[in-house]
Amino acid sequence: MGWLQDETGLERCSANYAPLTPLSHLRRAADLFADRTAIVWKSTRLSYAQYAQRVSRLASALAAMGVRPGDVVATLLPNIPQQAEAHFGVPACGAVLNTINTRLDPDTVAYILDHAGAKVLLCDAALVALAQEAFARMEGPQPTIIEVVDHGFAASGQYQTYEDLLAQGDPQAAWHMPQDEWESIAINYTSGTTGRPKGVVYHHRGAYLATTANALGWRMQLFPVYLTIVPLFHCNAWCHPWMIPMMGGTIVCCRDVTAKAIYDAIADEGVTHFGGAPIVLNSIVNAKPEERRAFDHIVEVFTAGAPPAAATLAAFEPLGFNVTQVYGLTETYGPATECLWQPTWHETTGDTRAALKARTGVAMAMLEGAEVHDEGGRPVPRDNATLGEIAMRGNMVMKGYYKNPEATREAFRGGWFRSGDIAFQHEDGYLKITDRAKDIIISGGENVSSVEVEGILMRHPAVNLCAVVAKPDDKWGEVPCAFVELKDGVEVTEADLISHCRAHLAGFKTPKRIIFTLLPKTSTGKIQKFELRAAAKQI
């Protein structure tokens, strides 16, 4: 067991132990950084003292409404200050936060509200109609709506407003600090593209350690200025709202993500950090001259959601950004691995540097392990070639799926979390994703990585975005089919792109069809390949 032979009198007590919780980050910041700016959004500027007081008001007002520890409080909110406040105010009354994707359809929103059993819904004024449509489809009790009125929007007049609710709260109210760090802090629902979404449950310990891992991985110093590009409803924005108070930093809200909004925030607010999918990087690379602003510092960027093309990274960094690829899932509190940059790589340039940046990476500091396993659950050779499934374990893995013990057992088979993502490992241990298991194309018995083909297509100067999926074929079983978005004002033919791919890929990997279209995307910028697979079947 590792105990000393006689540990009499060495028991755990309040002097030597406190359950880990990210609530402690804001409580500390309100004391140490009381006058520093915590949140910025248009004319709203909250100090840490004001931030903590509003959180106390929210927590006490929710408790007065009858919200009890273990109850669920849901949100339908964009990236605005009230969503950040909910990340602390909801658990500060002992409740569990459920941030719902604002772009879901009413039926899915209804399912989530029913499944989680939400008692209260904090709802943006612009999304009241969505909430009402969802309520009409619910089977269980409807939550109480509290309407959040953002700058430039009008209240519906049908519900109590968020500010009125806060006015009833106590700015000095004590917070519910967990007695057990395994207590639930949040429940996040997966995208549900292959069925009903699953409720992923986070605990206070995991959220706390995720904040520490992210700060370390980002090489973050005190007082960062963080821009909310990642939706606050997506894995709780990778736990970044809980992280920033630990660093005494400032959250700059961004309700509508555009290249202009990003450039303006960097130039006007001195943004130092943001996270985003490769589509965000692409939008910055292809921003129009009038959308760009000059800035004189390097902005640190986490990118995730899909493996970024090396061509995108090569074009993005010279604009004033340093990119770190991270990888994770809703089930791992967002990022769980990072492409840790090695000192021996500093002198690399061009394609070599971009290829290193495009690696998926190694386990973050607070994750116990990230490996590639074969079908028997054994680690594959680190030979830069052998494919397997990414498996992870440790404190940054979810408690499990809410009300779904079978799915939880399957996900944790063999004592590891099974991601469903296919990768190989380099000799130095770095993982490199090749595909989701369902995205591998098997053509004539050969495995084709859609990510590899996409990377080649992205090298073409006319291509803005692309996605490659399997198209049924009578002879080969499946062949690659590419869906491509072109840059504005640029023309290229299907034959041109096929020829470009053939110059860099084996024949069986070269797309047999190129379809020019706008790509369907999720709210976090992920391309919805399930829609493209369905379209490819009809070609």
Predicted confidence (pLDDT) per residue in 183-207, tens digit: 999 999 986 544 688 999 999 999 9
Question: What are the backbone dihedrals phi and psi of residue 263, each rounded to the nearest 5 degrees, phi first?
Answer: -60, -40
Which uninterrupted H or E stretch holds 392? strand 388-393
Q: How far is CA 149 from the centre of its chain?
A: 25
pLDDT value at position 523?
A: 64
Q: Which CATH code for domain 440-538?
A: 3.30.300.30
- Could you read off the pLDDT of 395-405 as tens digits, one per residue? 999 999 999 99
Average pLDDT, stretch 518-525? 80
- Which residues, 6 or more positions from 129, have their beta carbon under 8 angstroms from its beta carbon? none
Average pLDDT, stretch 101-129? 95
Q: How far is CA 537 from the centre of its chain?
A: 30
pLDDT value at position 48?
A: 98
Q: How many residues does the chain have?
A: 539
Compute, in degrees rounded to 10, the torsion defined by CA atoms 410, 416, 422, 426.
-170
Average pLDDT, stretch 374-384? 95
pLDDT value at position 61?
A: 98
Confidence band of 530 (pLDDT split at 50, 70, 90)? confident
Distance, in Å, from the CA atom of 38 to the CA atom of 30, rounded to the nearest integer, reads: 9
pLDDT value at position 193?
A: 45
Which residue matches tokens 């993500």?
Answer: 257
pLDDT at residue 314 above 70?
yes
- Could you read off the pLDDT of 316-339 as tens digits, one per residue? 999 999 999 999 999 999 999 999
Distance, in Å, from the CA atom of 336 to the CA atom of 153, rounded to the nearest integer, reads: 37
- Could you read off the pLDDT of 12-46 as tens digits, one per residue? 999 999 999 999 999 999 999 999 999 999 999 99
Ranges of each domain in the chain: 23-35+47-210, 257-436, 440-538
Which residue matches tokens 């001195």?
Answer: 270
Structure tokens at 497: 């792109």
Q: What percent of the chain has pLDDT over 70?
A: 98
- Which residues, 6 or more positions from 513, have their beta carbon under 8 angstroms from its beta carbon? 471, 481, 482, 494, 536, 539
- Class of the CATH-defined domain 23-35+47-210: alpha beta
Q: Which CATH code for domain 257-436?
A: 3.40.50.12780
Identify whether the C-beta of residue 351 lies closer than 8 Å to the C-beta of residue 330. Answer: no
- Could you read off the pLDDT of 261-301 as tens digits, one per residue? 999 999 999 999 999 988 889 899 999 999 999 999 999 99
**CB atoms < 10 A from the CB of 43, how many?**
6
Q: What's the chain's average pLDDT?
A: 93
**CB atoms < 10 A from the CB of 305, how many?**
21
| Same fold? 23-35+47-210, 257-436 | yes
Question: What is the DSSP-derived secondary structure letter of residue 418?
Answer: E
Identify whether the C-beta of residue 112 lies closer than 8 Å to the C-beta of residue 100. Answer: yes
B/e letters for 368-399, b = 16+ CB within 10 Å, e = fewer, are eebbbbeeeeeebebeeeebbbbbbbbbbbbb
pLDDT at residue 428 above 90?
yes
Specify the pTM: 0.86
Confidence band of 444 (pLDDT split at 50, 70, 90)? confident
Identify whether the C-beta of residue 254 lies closer than 8 Å to the C-beta of residue 265. Answer: yes
pLDDT value at position 445?
A: 65
pLDDT at residue 164 above 50?
yes
- Could you read off the pLDDT of 60-111 as tens digits, one per residue? 999 999 999 999 999 999 999 999 999 999 999 999 999 998 988 898 899 9
Average pLDDT, stretch 511-531? 87
Distance, in Å, from the CA atom of 278 to the CA atom of 303, rounded to the nearest integer, reads: 6
* DSSP H helical ranges for 306-461: 310-316, 350-357, 405-411, 450-457
